[in-house]
Amino acid sequence: METYDLVVIGSGAGLNVLNYGLQMGLKCALIEDTKLGATCLTRGCIPSKVLVHHEHHHEE
């Protein structure tokens, strides 16, 4: 049985945790059930706060 110092579930924000663990010299494993990266990376997303920000400036 393999043993790990750090097991990360999900590759959204988990990639940051995984990267930190690797930099620390830990033996790491990543568990992901879809493509690597969060929803915004793999499928795109609408940054609603940016749209709201632009709408407020447009109204002025």
Contacts of 27 (CB under 8 A, 6+ apart): 3, 4, 5, 6
Please report the pLDDT score of residue 6 as a whole number: 97
Q: What is the pLDDT of residues 47-57, one digit of tens each?
A: 666 666 544 44
Q: Which H or E run includes 30? A: strand 28-31
User: What burial class does residue 17 get, using C-beta atoms within 10 Å of its C-beta: 0-12 exposed, 13-18 middle, 19+ buried?
Assistant: middle
Q: What is the pLDDT of residues 2-47, one digit of tens each?
A: 999 999 998 878 889 999 999 999 999 999 887 666 666 656 666 6
Please report the pLDDT score of residue 58 as a whole number: 47
Indicate the pTM of the whole model.
0.59
